[in-house]
Amino acid sequence: MRSYLYDNSDADQRELHDSGVAVSMEQLRGLGIEYRRLNGNTAENLAAVEQLCQERSYKNRDEINISPSLLPEYEKKIKIFFTEHIHEDEEIRFVLEGAGFFDVRDKEDRWVRILVEKGDLLIVPAGIYHRFTLDTTNYIKAMRLFKEDPKWTPINRPDADKNQYHLAHLQSIGVS
Ligand code: KMT
Ligand code: NI
């Protein structure tokens, strides 16, 4: 995991877009982002995932393979993932293979780019504007954790500007 301010250049979304300004774990926590590094063996990692699910009452999980050949309707999905949106539930992702970028909005509404790689578990809070892209290797395999009834429907900007989960998120990070 590595995070930094996005450079806002017009280059391919899959490039690093590293502005050179690092964003610390502390700053990420200030945005409501949680992060765990799971670098044990498969059994140890699964045990850690089980524990997290118990703590948060998560009942279900699945695995998604994102690559041009593995994901049905790849082009369409990639566009949806990279369109700025919120969810009314947190988004927990554990990277099993490959890599990708989650971009999240900071307190000044700038993009913070978070590189996630194998072994990284990221919790994106409900209500935060974000988006996702693969990197130039074009492959990620991730476990998605969800409650019984996940509210994962993306709500795009600006439709979510007045959404109660978005407003609650802004208040929780001290912006409102
Ligand atoms: C999402 O909701 O943006 C995703 O599930 C992205 C793929 S998971 C690495
Ligand atoms: Ni999302």
ipTM of the complex: 0.92
Supply the pLDDT for residue 100: 98
Model confidence pLDDT, tens digit, residues 76-86: 999 999 999 99
Task: Tell me how far the alpha carbon of residue 125 lies from the centroid of ligand 2, in angstroms.
Answer: 10
Is the pLDDT reported for residue 151 higher than 80?
A: no
Q: For residue 132, give the ligand 1 atom closest to its CA.
A: 3
**What CATH number does residue 154 fall under?**
2.60.120.10
Ligand having the closest approach to the CA of 66: 1
C-alpha 98/C-alpha 102 separation (Å) is 14
CB 140 within 8 A of CB 134: yes
Domains identified in the chain, total number: 1
What the block records as the tokens of 123 is 């919790």
If one counts every other C-beta atom within 10 angstroms of the C-beta of residue 9, the result is: 9
C-alpha 134/C-alpha 132 separation (Å) is 7
CB 147 within 8 A of CB 59: yes
Beta-bridge mates of residue 136: none
Q: For residue 152, give the ligand 1 atom closest to its CA.
A: 2
Task: Tell me how far the alpha carbon of residue 126 lies from the centroid of ligand 2, in angstroms.
Answer: 9
Residue with the two structure tokens 């978005």: 166
Q: How confident is the model at residue 146 (pLDDT cuts 50, 70, 90)?
A: confident
C-alpha 60/C-alpha 75 separation (Å) is 27
Residues ≥6 apart with Cβ < 8 Å to 149: none
What the block records as the tokens of 157 is 């900007």
What range does the domain containing 110 cover? Answer: 2-6+13-172
Residues ≥6 apart with Cβ < 8 Å to 121: 35, 36, 37, 38, 48, 49, 52, 92, 93, 94, 95
C-alpha 166/C-alpha 86 separation (Å) is 7
Model confidence pLDDT, tens digit, residues 87-145: 999 999 999 999 999 999 999 999 999 999 999 999 999 999 999 999 999 999 999 99
C-alpha 80/C-alpha 100 separation (Å) is 15
Atom 9, ligand 1: residue with shortest CA distance: 142
CB 106 within 8 A of CB 31: yes
Q: For residue 116, give the ligand 1 atom closest to its CA.
A: 9
Model confidence pLDDT, tens digit, residues 21-72: 999 999 999 999 999 999 999 999 999 999 999 999 898 899 999 999 999 9
Supply the pLDDT for residue 161: 98
Mutation pick for ligand 1 pocket among 61, 132, 135 (CB with most ligand atoms within 8 Å):
132
